[in-house]
Structure 1
Amino acid sequence: MWRPFDRCLTPAAPRPPLPPAMSAVDPPPPPTAATPPSGRIRELDVVRGAAICGILVVNIQAFAYVMMAYVNPAVQGDLTGLNYVVWMAGQIFVEFKFITLFSLLFGAGLYLLADRWARAGRRPVRAHWRRLFWLGLIGLGHAYLLWFGDILFMYAVCAAVAVLFWKRSTRTLIGIAVVLLVIPTTLISLLALSLPYWPEEVVHEMRTEWHLSPERVQEETEAYRGGWREQQPYRIESALMMHTWAMGTSIFWRTTGVMLLGMALLKLGLPASVASAGGLARRTLFFGLPGLALCAYGAFRNAAEAWDFEYTALQGELWNYWGSLPLALGYFFGLCWLVRSGAAAGLVRVLEAIGRLALTNYLMQSVIFTTVFYGHGFGLFGHVERWQQALMVVVCWGFQGAFSVWWLRRFGQGPVERLWRWLSGGRGGF
């Protein structure tokens, strides 16, 4: 019987010291015969680039519409015809999958840097905390001054906890990750079971918040079409909600758990331990197809329930929550196959460049689309339909791909990556 991790679980020879590393967003590779002289694993750069591109497909909805439309698409924007197809495709193939990929790679970077620093006689946890402190500050500025949907601050918090476990065995990392991943499901299930016993006025308020009234939608829309000062109350309120309620009930547990899984994958020797392109292709199907089935069922069921509060908010998201994990692994192996097989070499080179400038490209997306949609720019908030948003995403991919290739040829490292390294006390800078 074929087992997807059999070859990864065989004892490995001791690893030689790691080459000079990049950041936790842009992690260094383990030394292998296939590793190029620069010390990078090309597959990880390509996967990271794909993750940055995929994240934008989801994030553009939060740039273009009110915050609640991100979880309940019926709140704002047309959902018929091509708009429905675009939304459904995003839910099935993208939502939660590429942020999961990014979290896996972030966890892998934490482990690789910690291992390198430990071999050099440094204190890995303290060194990581210094870097994460600056990443968190960058994230706070991003969230409260530009766009509430920032992930950098939350990644810094989650990574500060995850790195404490970098020495643990693979089995321990996976076990802790599973426990953390179960916590949001447990909390949502308890909420759903207890809802009949809650005061009716509280439940009514929750329903009202979920099915946002047209007046509330218009109020928020007008604020974001206004100047920066008019946007601030809504931006701060939304960012605080992300950093308190969402962080405490879901984001912290899931993100930290997935980071630990990323550490475990590296300890299993992936992707280098899969010797053939055929092995990567088999793993793509093994993980991807079950995950795809779960995500597709959840998306169509939510639509059939008309995104009802009692179903979608309390039960319907669980299909995507769990289905996105194996589907993200399927994407991981599929992208590694794309590199190994030599197929689409031009696309692979562009994704690699985007991945090497991951932090720069992520923040650039916020600058571009807050300018497009908010009132301090073109003021298109609430005006752009979902199929048009998809076209904007494709244009942005093309621009960021060309920019990343050009920038790397001239400078070798992204501007925000260089700033972060300088703030963290690394060599180089401005």
Structure 2
Amino acid sequence: MRPIEETARIDSLDMIRGISLLGIFLINMMSFHSPFMYYNPYQWWSESGESSLYMFLDIFVQASFYPLFAMVFGYGLVIQRERSLERGVSFLPLGFRRLCVLLGFGIIHAFLIWSGDILINYALFGMILLVMLRWSGKILLILGIVLFFIPQLLISGLFLLSYFVEPNQMLYFTDMKAVENAVTAYSTGSFMDIFSQRYKDWFLVNGPMNLPFLLLSILPMMMIGAGASKLNMLQRARAMKRVWVAILIVTLTIGIGIKALPFLIEANYSFAIIQDLLGGPFLSVAYAAIIVLLSMNNVMNKILRPFAKAGKMSLTIYLSQSIIGTFIFYSYGLGLYGEVTLITGAWLVVGIFLIQVILAEIWLSRFQYGPMEKLWRTLTYGSTKRRLNNEQTK
């Protein structure tokens, strides 16, 4: 058993990964430089340029790239399973070990670097997905869509009902005490102060009360990606061009319509939740369709190819974004937390990501894998390689 060879990779899949990294970084940057979870963003960024930028990010980026990355995660897991079965190796123990290593990375990332980690959830929910991978592509796709729609529609309906019954309870508010605590801890606090605040921020999002919501928003998207992978929807993209166009038209229209609700009706908690739960995943599917269709064009394929390079080093780039972001804004670095505008933060994302893409191009011209990808593979496949070598020696 060994990792997927370079020639076996799917370029459009890596392009989706790379573009997802940019979208995720744009949203993460707000949490890197400000207490995003504790203030009303519709009022916090009140200047004209910043409010316009936040509206763009809220509609087109927020909650649209994590689901996309989850679908890619499921798609890639199926490819790894198929490669394993082709070589006569059971994938379940290997996949479980691979996800355990990812879980370890996530724990280190969440509690020692940045609270907004996604690796822990991807690893845990990926373990559930492992036992489903024997199902057919149609079952995975249909069940994933059902598990996504029914809970999200019910939750959205409850929030919508709450808005009509008690609209004042659904108003956004800024918790100034929490804002002050976060700014103090991250900008001037000791490492232990930062650790304590980091844990509070992580628990607020990932605590037991939110775990079912995270499960029902991430796992179904992984299942949809896995189902699409079993149906070879990327490999057969040209033959399925009409299907991809139809997917784009439907999901883009619905996604933008739902994502714009806070600006079309009222910027309150109800519409913000509905916007993220329903609008984000719709728009993520639309983005996948856009990338797949663009990659069919030779000129656009060349333009998007640098994103594919970044996608091949997705773990390295994702983790390095957190390291760079926290170093710029936390007290053990430059200590600029709470001092940066939304516009400046967005330009930082563009500059840092551009450098990351260039470095990925240079690195992959000399090495087959990124540094974290190499470590992940070594920890996952190392014991298997040693066992095979021992058997061959005997």
Identify whether the pair has TM-score above 0.5, normalized to the shorter chain: yes
- Provide the C-alpha distance between the structure 1 equivalents of 2:224 and 2:312, rounded to a whole number of angstroms: 22
Residue 263 (structure 1) aligns with: 226
Q: Which amino acid aligns with 1:219?
A: N
Q: Which amino acid aligns with 1:331?
A: Y
Of residues 185, 189, 192, the one that matches 1:223 is 185
Are residues 151 and 264 of structure 1, via their aligned partners in 2, closer, same or farther at CA, if it must alter by over 3 Å? same
Q: Indicate if the aligned counterparts of 2:141 and 2:226 stay in contact, CA closer than 8 A.
A: no
Are residues 391 and 279 of structure 1, via their aligned partners in 2, closer, same or farther at CA, if it must alter by over 3 Å? same
- Provide the C-alpha distance between the structure 1 equivalents of 2:303 and 2:262, rounded to a whole number of angstroms: 29
Deviates more, 1:177-186 or 1:396-405: 177-186
TM-score, length basis structure 1: 0.81
Q: Indicate if the aligned counterparts of 2:141 and 2:225 stay in contact, CA closer than 8 A.
A: no
- Provide the C-alpha distance between the structure 1 equivalents of 2:275 and 2:345, rounded to a whole number of angstroms: 25
Are residues 351 and 229 of structure 1, via their aligned partners in 2, closer, same or farther at CA, if it must alter by over 3 Å? same
- Provide the C-alpha distance between the structure 1 equivalents of 2:209 and 2:33, rounded to a whole number of angstroms: 21
Please tell me whether residue 413 in structure 1 is matched to residue 369 in structure 2. Answer: yes
Residue 298 (structure 1) aligns with: 261
Of residues 19, 36, 44, the one that matches 2:13 is 44
Of residues 138, 145, 148, the one that matches 2:115 is 148
Residue 167 (structure 1) aligns with: 134
Q: Indicate if the aligned counterparts of 2:50 and 2:343 stay in contact, CA closer than 8 A.
A: yes
- Provide the C-alpha distance between the structure 2 equivalents of 1:305 and 1:402, rounded to a whole number of angstroms: 41
Q: Which amino acid aligns with 1:259?
A: M
Are residues 368 and 394 of structure 1, via their aligned partners in 2, closer, same or farther at CA, if it must alter by over 3 Å? same
Deviates more, 1:49-58 or 1:330-339: 330-339
Please tell me whether residue 243 in structure 1 is matched to residue 200 in structure 2. Answer: no
Are residues 180 and 83 of structure 1, via their aligned partners in 2, closer, same or farther at CA, if it must alter by over 3 Å? same
Deviates more, 1:186-195 or 1:84-93: 186-195
Task: Give, in angstroms, the shift of residue 261 of structure 1.
Answer: 0.1
Q: Indicate if the aligned counterparts of 1:294 and 1:319 stay in contact, CA closer than 8 A.
A: no
Please tell me whether residue 183 in structure 1 is matched to residue 146 in structure 2. Answer: no
TM-score, length basis structure 2: 0.87
> Could you list the runs of 5+ residues in structure 2 that have no partner in the other structure?
387-394
- Provide the C-alpha distance between the structure 1 equivalents of 2:160 and 2:258, rounded to a whole number of angstroms: 21
Deviations 1:197-237 (A, max 9, x none): 99xxxxx9x989x6233233112211111232221111011
Deviations 1:383-424 (A, max 9, x none): 111111111111012111111001101112100011111111
1:116-155 mapped onto 2 (5 Å cutoff): 116-155=83-122
Are residues 207 and 282 of structure 1, via their aligned partners in 2, closer, same or farther at CA, if it must alter by over 3 Å? closer
Residue 340 (structure 2) aligns with: 384
Residue 53 (structure 1) aligns with: 22
Deviations 1:320-342 (A, max 9, x none): 42222332222112112222202
Q: Which amino acid aligns with 2:236?
A: S
Please tell me whether residue 397 in structure 1 is matched to residue 353 in structure 2. Answer: yes
Are residues 372 and 347 of structure 1, via their aligned partners in 2, closer, same or farther at CA, if it must alter by over 3 Å? farther
Alignment RMSD, CA only?
A: 3.0
- Provide the C-alpha distance between the structure 1 equivalents of 2:147 and 2:174, rounded to a whole number of angstroms: 31
Q: Which amino acid aligns with 2:92?
A: V
Q: Which amino acid aligns with 1:186?
A: L
Task: Give, in angstroms, the shift of residue 102 of structure 1.
Answer: 0.8
Q: Percent identity among equivalent residues? A: 26
- Provide the C-alpha distance between the structure 1 equivalents of 2:83 and 2:308, rounded to a whole number of angstroms: 23
Are residues 323 and 375 of structure 1, via their aligned partners in 2, closer, same or farther at CA, if it must alter by over 3 Å? same
> Could you list the runs of 5+ residues in structure 1 that have no partner in the other structure?
1-18, 23-27, 29-36, 199-203
Q: Secondary structure at the match of 2:14?
A: helix
- Provide the C-alpha distance between the structure 2 equivalents of 1:20 and 1:333, rounded to a whole number of angstroms: 30
Q: Which amino acid aligns with 1:211?
A: F
Residue 316 (structure 2) aligns with: 360
Please tell me whether residue 275 in structure 1 is matched to residue 238 in structure 2. Answer: yes
- Provide the C-alpha distance between the structure 2 equivalents of 1:211 and 1:120, rounded to a whole number of angstroms: 56
Are residues 38 and 248 of structure 1, via their aligned partners in 2, closer, same or farther at CA, if it must alter by over 3 Å? same
Q: Indicate if the aligned counterparts of 1:407 and 1:414 stay in contact, CA closer than 8 A.
A: yes
- Provide the C-alpha distance between the structure 2 equivalents of 1:215 and 1:187, rounded to a whole number of angstroms: 29
Q: Which amino acid aligns with 1:57?
A: L
Are residues 306 and 322 of structure 1, via their aligned partners in 2, closer, same or farther at CA, if it must alter by over 3 Å? closer
Task: Give, in angstroms, the shift of residue 95 of structure 1.
Answer: 1.3
- Provide the C-alpha distance between the structure 1 equivalents of 2:289 and 2:145, rounded to a whole number of angstroms: 21
Are residues 207 and 383 of structure 1, via their aligned partners in 2, closer, same or farther at CA, if it must alter by over 3 Å? farther
- Provide the C-alpha distance between the structure 1 equivalents of 2:207 and 2:181, rounded to a whole number of angstroms: 24
Residue 339 (structure 1) aligns with: 295
- Provide the C-alpha distance between the structure 2 equivalents of 1:424 and 1:104, rounded to a whole number of angstroms: 22
Q: Secondary structure at the match of 1:343?
A: helix
Of residues 101, 105, 109, the one that matches 2:72 is 105
Please tell me whether residue 318 in structure 1 is matched to residue 281 in structure 2. Answer: no
Q: Quick check: which one's helix share is greater? A: 2
Q: Secondary structure at the match of 1:391?
A: helix
Task: Give, in angstroms, the shift of residue 347 of structure 1.
Answer: 3.2
- Provide the C-alpha distance between the structure 1 equivalents of 2:272 and 2:177, rounded to a whole number of angstroms: 26
Of residues 49, 66, 71, the one that matches 2:35 is 66
Task: Give, in angstroms, the shift of residue 185 of structure 1.
Answer: 4.4
Deviates more, 1:326-335 or 1:148-157: 326-335
- Provide the C-alpha distance between the structure 2 equivalents of 1:69 and 1:59, rounded to a whole number of angstroms: 15
Task: Give, in angstroms, the shift of residue 20 of structure 1.
Answer: 5.9
Q: Secondary structure at the match of 1:96?
A: coil
Aligned length: 383
